[in-house]
Amino acid sequence: MTPLERLDRYLRGEHGRSAATRSAYMADAGLLLTLAGDTDLAALGSKDIRGFVRRMNSQGHDPRSIARRLSAWRAWFKLLMREAGFAHNPVEGIKAPRAARKLPRPVGVDEAMGFLDNLTDTDPLARRDRAMYELAYSSGLRVSELVGVDCEDFRDAGATLQVLGKGGKVRLVPVGEMAIHTIQDWLQDRASLPQTGDAALFLNRFGRRMSTRAVQLRLAEWSVKLGLPDHLHPHRLRHACASHFLQGSQDLRATQELLGHASIATTQVYTLLDFQHLAAVYDSAHPRAQDKDGAE
């Protein structure tokens, strides 16, 4: 039985995978055979696998696809060690190239302020939405943190908020004056909703805590209603808070603390956004940025 036949039998076995998973595994296995050429699988070493990774990377393969293939190859060689007497697994310890960090598309100050200022519907749930999005932008909250806020989490007359972040880590964040005012307005409407005993600050019309999906859908609806050229989503409000705070403060550590990032490397992505803004302004404003005569 060939190594490929062993893999196919395994994938169709007692704990058989779905047709899509089998197809993906077999395609990844076929690619390895192609890369190996005339070299027997049992003779492949770590140096060969690293060479295959470099080749795929140079050909523009997505790092996540390379990582998936390495995972499939690793599992295949484990099977062959168990069933075909292969002496070693050459894929062990081999990692895919790091994926390029994708920058969040920035939201301008005017765009953020214009959106929030236009949430003026007199409907109580619209006032709730304005309070939610003001708080998200004011304090840089993740959507999960936003829906997790309870009324009792505020300190200092609402100027500070205790947030339960990733990994159960608690942090204190400041709350802007506009967010405080809109939350106070919402609290009056909140009292008119069905009283279920839910401590959540933001409730749906049934008096239950808002879900992250509901927050996302409401924001998408507002984007359409206000005719925004590009739909907003909660995480872009968090990005906007981070970018605008960093532009104004130039304090990376304070931005890290505000956002609750475990590593400052995560926060540093906003310095790249700041540079993008600087570069755009430079190109449009500096008299020597571009050749005005169009010469190369």
Catalytic residue among 127, 128, 130, 238, which?
238
Active site residue 238: yes
Tell me the C-alpha distance between 107 and 14, whole Å.
51
Active site residue 235: yes
SS3 163: strand
Q: Cβ distance 242 to 267 under 8 Å?
A: yes
* Of 222, 280, 279, 274, residue with least CA distance to 104: 274
Catalytic residue among 22, 209, 235, 277, which?
235
Catalytic residue among 127, 142, 190, 244, which?
142
Catalytic residue among 54, 166, 205, 213, which?
166
Active site residue 270: yes
* Of 258, 206, 239, 253, residue with least CA distance to 102: 239
* End-to-end CA, the chain: 63
Tell me the C-alpha distance between 143 and 202, whole Å.
12
What residues have CB less than 8 Å from 59, skipping those under 6 apart? none
Tell me the C-alpha distance between 171 and 296, whole Å.
53
Name residue 172's beta-bridge partners: 162
Tell me the C-alpha distance between 294 and 296, whole Å.
7
Tell me the C-alpha distance between 16 and 22, whole Å.
9
Q: What is the amino acid identity at position 26?
A: M
Dig out the tokens for 112 from the structure: 């953020």
What residues have CB less than 8 Å from 248, skipping those under 6 apart? none
Task: Please give the positions annotated as active site.
Answer: 142, 166, 235, 238, 261, 270
